[in-house]
Amino acid sequence: MPDLWQDAMDHAVTLARKAGEIVKDALQNDLKIMCKSSSVDLVTKTDQNVEQLIITSVKEKFPEHSFIGEESVAAGEPCVLTENPTWIVDPVDGTTNFVHGYPFVAISIGFAVNKMLEFGVVYSCIEDKMYTARKEKGAFCNGQPLQVSDQKEINQSIIATEFGSNRDPDAVDKIFSSMRKILCLPVHGIRGVGSAAINMCLVASGCVEAYYEIGIHCWDVAAAAVIVSEAGGVLMDVEGGPMDLMSRRVLAANNNIIGERIVKEIEAFSAVRDDAP
Ligand code: IPD
């Protein structure tokens, strides 16, 4: 059977690497920082330029394809996943890290056809780690195969999560309460590198057993979702059941035992869906 999407994936890798160079160069200069939904939801000129570069290049090569891009959506483009081949792009995942020079920043490019994710590319550019995965073809970091941890005991696990950019006190209370309950299970530790995509790649790499967050967007997790599942991991909603890419909630785990154990401790809440009209 012809490999329909390999060309698109190769192009995504090339673009992610090029974007990574731009992001690293920008770190040497003054960043033009702006706010989006609130004073802690940051964006820079680099985020916008990198997204433009990716979208312009993909449009030239694949004129029929559709896009969901973080900065395009912020500028008013719709965030709707159709059956059409769709590139789901976060030009700089970990913008707050980027602004502060905290060294975990990724370019995240996911690709879906018929609403199913086909491949994911996450380039952690400061670490120079290129994570790639293609449906049914495995997950890799710089060409080396990835495999999730085989840990089944929650009290031998590290769990990753983030505070995100929601500062509503009720939501923050739930975030802390969930973390407190998970920490006291007990687990070996709680971590978070400030990039949803990299946290998920760490699950795929076997360094942490699970990552969960409420408030992420589809562009933060689309690419890394393929990487986690191709590394043998599972994706679910924070209340259990299948992950819904547009729901702004994600739980990625090495296996169902760890995932479902964490579900029991999470105080779930809802965020406005990415595809809300
Ligand atoms: C953010 C990062 C962060 C997560 C936020 C995301 P951005 O993405 O992934 O780790 O906590 O929920 O929005 O805004 O830097 O692309």
Q: Which domain holds residue 73?
A: 6-145
CATH of the domain at 237: 3.40.190.80
Assess whether the C-beta atom of 195 lies below 6 angstroms from ligand 1. yes
* Centre of ligand 1 from the C-alpha of residue 93, in Å: 6
Which residues lie closer than 8 Å to 138 by C-beta, 6 or more apart? 145, 146, 230, 231
Nearest C-alpha to atom 3 of ligand 1 is from which residue? 195
Q: Does residue 268 lie in a domain region? A: no
Query: Do 228 and 134 share a domain, yes or no?
Result: no
Token pair in block for residue 269? 């809440």
Where does a domain end: 122, 145, 168?
Answer: 145
Mutate to test the pocket of ligand 1, among 34, 104, 165 (most ligand atoms within 8 A of CB): 165
Ligand 1 centroid distance, CA of 4 (Å):
31
What's the CATH number where 102 sits?
3.30.540.10
Q: Is the pLDDT of residue 23 over 80?
A: yes
Cα 80 → chain centroid: 18
Same domain, 18 and 95: yes
* pLDDT tens digits for range 45-86: 999 999 999 999 999 999 999 999 999 999 999 999 999 999
- The count of structural domains within the chain is 2
Q: Which residues contact 150 (CB under 8 A, 6 or more apart)?
A: 254, 255
Residue 275 lies in a domain: no
**69 assigned to some structural domain:** yes
Name residue 34's beta-bridge partners.
Answer: 43
Mean pLDDT, all residues of the chain: 96
Same domain as 161, residue 249 = yes
Same domain, 55 and 100: yes
User: How confident is the model over 154-211, as pLDDT tens digits?
Assistant: 999 999 999 999 999 999 999 999 999 999 999 999 999 999 999 999 999 999 999 9
Contacts with 232 (C-beta within 8 Å, 6 or more apart), sequence order: 147, 148, 254
- Over residues 143-161, the pLDDT tens digits come to 999 999 999 999 999 999 9
In a domain, 274, yes or no: no
Domain boundary pick from 145, 165, 184: 145
Last residue of a domain, one of 96, 122, 145: 145
In angstroms, the CA 90 to CA 110 distance is 9
**Is residue 158 located within the same domain as residue 95?**
no
Whether residue 277 is contained in a domain is answered as no
